[in-house]
Amino acid sequence: MKVGIVGAGLAGLCAARSLLAAGIAAHDITVFERRASAGLETSFANGALLHPSAVDPWNSPGILGVLWRSLGRDDAAVLLRLRALPSLLGWGLRFVRESSPERHRAHTLANVALPLASVRLMDRYRTDGLEWCSAPCGSLAIYRDAASLAHAVQQVRALRAHGLESRALSRDEVVALEPALAPIAADLHGGVHHLGDETGDAQRFCHGLAQWLAAQGVQMAFATDVQALLGHGQGVSGLRLASGAEHRFDAVVLAAASHSVALAAPLGLAVPVRPVKGYSITLPLNQTPAAAVPHTPVIDSALHIALTPLHSHDGARLRVAGTAEFCGFDNHIDPARVANLIAPLKQVYPALGALADSPKRIDWTGLRPMCADGKALIGATRVKGLFFNTGHGQIGWTTAAASGELLAQAVTGQSSADSPGLDGAAFLPVRFGL
């Protein structure tokens, strides 16, 4: 079987690795990527966290009011741009409809199994010799008042039966776990330590995995723009490149994030995925006093940011990520949105505030592919030979390994020994008639 994969980010590369594990010959797999290397778009500089603890869809109850109040406010954590409304009308109605408490809870529970399996499956990549600044230290959610902490504890207790491990911490225990928080200890009430979370540099992972795949014999076609799918509404037979060249495949996997939508549209598939823009800044920590260097990822829901330290042989960095912006495919970096990360950085780590002015600071923005119900699209479509692995939203890194496994199961009809019983029914494209 010959398989063509569109997209060399997390979704496409993990799909290729899982197809290999499922028995597809390396020379029968081709990965197409329009950029010059792997992981240069949405996978490049995300929050650097694999977080089974935070898989609830962003269309939580009350999201319509949040979006309405965000109009015209560059300082809003979740921002809706008026110019994006035409592209969001049908999708947005579904997005809001799926935000009822009952639906939101059901989608959250469906999402839990995938990241838990992913964290376990990452051991496969470690045995391949890959390194991505991983650290199984968990993550620390901090809270400034008793009500917020009590609500968080209630949520994690409800999910404990589904395999999520966590423990509530007092203020002193928070500081003991992350001493770099000592300067703001008086502002904290407590926290929750999510034990199953991990850190990881997604772009570093993609780069290493692409090299590993190429060494196995997988064809990596970089700087190659896929223009169209070959075939019709009944079946796909290959891909046409922007150069005019055509490649024939028995199966085609769309793992091109939000760009998958346009490729599928000519076949009559209305894919309910839209881009949601996120930001990050990355700061060097090499010259920072040891007492001020954080070692545990910290999530501050009140400030809508995650602060993740990345330690490796080539230096220490701090990744600060957050915000969500509905603005279509606009991926320019807005200084006002970057400022929304710098201000809370100074609130959480006052001693690191000066790093925001470093000439080595890296600002980044990426377009997360968000499905209308907050769950990824993984598996076969009604078009013979066409498969999706997209729509993962803010948890693409967290679910990458298991998503690749489900994709390989859909293509080959069998599961690997590493993932017995992994159930992908909740993520099938058929739920949207695709």
- Cα separation, 167 vs 192, in Å, equals 6
Residue in 8, 21, 30 with CA at minimum distance from that of residue 246: 30
User: Residue 417's pLDDT is what?
Assistant: 66
- Cα separation, 167 vs 152, in Å, equals 11
- Cα separation, 398 vs 66, in Å, equals 25
| Token pair recorded at residue 149 | 């902490």
Mean pLDDT per segment of 10 residues, for the chain of length 434 residues? 98 97 96 97 95 91 87 85 88 92 92 92 93 94 96 88 92 97 97 96 97 98 98 91 97 98 96 96 92 95 93 90 93 94 96 92 96 97 97 96 96 78 91 96
- Cα separation, 98 vs 83, in Å, equals 23
User: Residue 66's pLDDT is what?
Assistant: 86
- Cα separation, 317 vs 338, in Å, equals 17
Residue in 212, 210, 249 with CA at minimum distance from that of residue 229: 249
In the numeric block, the tokens 């501050």 are attached to 300
**How many of the other CB atoms lie within 10 Å of CB of 7?**
29
Strand 166-170 versus strand 190-194 pairing type: antiparallel
In the numeric block, the tokens 């400030």 are attached to 303
Helices of type H across 7-145: 10-21, 63-70, 85-97, 101-127
pTM of this structure: 0.95
User: Residue 315's pLDDT is what?
Assistant: 85
Q: Cβ(53)–Cβ(156) under 8 Å? A: yes
Consecutive H or E run containing 332: none
| Token pair recorded at residue 173 | 């225990």
